[in-house]
Amino acid sequence: MKKVLSIFTLLLIATVYSCEDFSFLEPEPKDRLTRDIALSDLNGVSSHVASAYNRFHGFGYYGQQFILNEDALADNVNLLNNTGRYVTQLVNAARAHNNIYTVGYQIINDVNIALAVLPDLAAEDPARASLLEGQAKFARALAYFDLARVYGYEPSREVAGFNTAVVISPEAVLGTSNIVETARATNTEVYSLVKADLQSAISLLPATSTNSPYLPTSSAAKALLARVNLYEGSFATAAQLAEEVMTETSATLSNAADYVGTFAAANHPEAIMAFNISTLDWSTVDGVNNSLASMTNTNDPSRGLNSAQGVLRASVELLAAYEPGDVRRDLWVATTGPNNWEARKWNGELGGFREHIPIIRYSEMLLIAAEGRARSGNDGAALTHINRLRTNRGLANSTDTGAALISLIMNERRVELVLEGHRFFDFKRLGLDITKAAAQGGNPVPYTDFRVLAPIPDNALGNNTLLVQNPGY
């Protein structure tokens, strides 16, 4: 049976999101939602938007692999316990990459179904319809952005002129009768769609919500737009957006004394947007087999992590990147032997290995603002932002300028955002070779190497004759 669509699951932690909390619908198998039921009123629209958000929770996406792959594909982690997980990603084997193609388009289709009928149903409740539109466009933007950065190069960073990204789905697919074969769009076309969706979401979403950060606010949409502009190389715009987010969001920057403890708290104070893994998102064995906590912690019954696998540990190179006195270094502990440094960032604090997963944090906005200002020639503003972060991590202010300042900011990104899905993409978006840890041979993966892009899945190629594979596969 296909995965149960559980609207109740999506929002166990909240009861009101302005006019829309997705909690009205009883669990019903997705394949039993007929077109008439799904599209007859705003409740049906809401079910599709909720389904889109629930898909982000999957273990192949933000529930685990998309968060950890980016450190394994680069230089932040090594293998601690060999369970077969992340072995091929650590050595950048061909086809050992992110695999979000199917789920990404499932999310997009859920959204496209919702958006196709919203204009005809808006009169039923205009405020609710606007909110659903904003939530839908945020989800679609996030899915397209992730697909674009996994399967294509960033604009102006193309290799040999290859600017192909992913397919832009022209309409909702309700069955085989209306599937349209479509060629892959260019990276600039996809980025334009992502930015347009986010600009629209900013205008449609509320500034605050009792459900924040588990459904997007206007600040969350603007924060994602800041990240998109950073990837695109629009550095001044990225910085401006990040600065606006920091004045608008209800999220707060953790201080040095509280920093480690925030990752053991049920609700992270820095979270601008987060996903929640609920008890209905997985089976009784998924906590041990699939959770972030199990992948990054060893067995520890005292913390409720019975039979945790402890697959990944910090690389020597990552540990060397921390300055003396940096409180972020305290998130790594060696409990099973020398150099077996396991993380305390993902702790399963909700019980049963579950936790809320921040996907955009306040500190990332500081880092985007700092990098954006530095790369657009404003070292003074960049120093203000990066020193605010450093002060709240137990470090002295920096006086670096120019290339040294940019190098410092990138190192701050490394130690701040480790195990949050950024390291590999930080090399890729800048057109840099992918650095590897000595334990993996230490030989960088050249940016021009075909393995920098993930392969388009074979089944997708078979279903669309206009779809072309990425070079090298």
29: pLDDT strictly greater than 50: no
16: pLDDT strictly greater than 60: no
What is the rounded CA–CA span in Å between residue 314 and residue 33? 45
Instruction: Compute the average pLDDT of residues 367-373.
Output: 99
pLDDT bracket for residue 7 (50, 70, 90) = very low
pLDDT bracket for residue 140 (50, 70, 90) = very high
Does some domain include residue 470?
no
Instruction: Compute the average pLDDT of residues 164-190.
Output: 87
pLDDT at 407 (0 to 100):
98
67: pLDDT strictly greater than 50: yes
pTM of the model: 0.93
Does some domain include residue 468?
no
Does some domain include residue 68?
yes
25: pLDDT strictly greater than 50: no
Give residue 223's identity as a one-letter amino acid code.
A
- The number of domains in the chain is 1
210: pLDDT strictly greater than 90: no
* Of the candidate ranges 29-33, 262-266, 341-345, the one whose mean pLDDT is the lowest: 29-33
pLDDT at 176 (0 to 100):
61
Does some domain include residue 471?
no
Q: Is 233 exposed, middle or buried (0-12, 13-18, 19+ CB in 10 A)?
A: middle
Does some domain include residue 469?
no
Residue 255: which domain range?
Answer: 4-463
| CATH value at residue 84 | 1.25.40.390
pLDDT at 170 (0 to 100):
81
Cα-only R_g, the chain: 21
456: pLDDT strictly greater than 90: yes
* Of the candidate ranges 32-41, 43-52, 81-90, 445-454, the one whose mean pLDDT is the lowest: 32-41
| Nearest residue to 72 via CA among 316, 423, 320 | 423
Alpha-helical regions (H) of 157-291: 187-204, 218-232, 235-248, 259-262, 286-290
Does some domain include residue 204?
yes
450: pLDDT strictly greater than 60: yes
28: pLDDT strictly greater than 80: no
What is the rounded CA–CA span in Å between residue 101 and residue 146? 9
pLDDT at 177 (0 to 100):
60
Of the chain, the percentage scoring pLDDT greater than 90 comes to 84
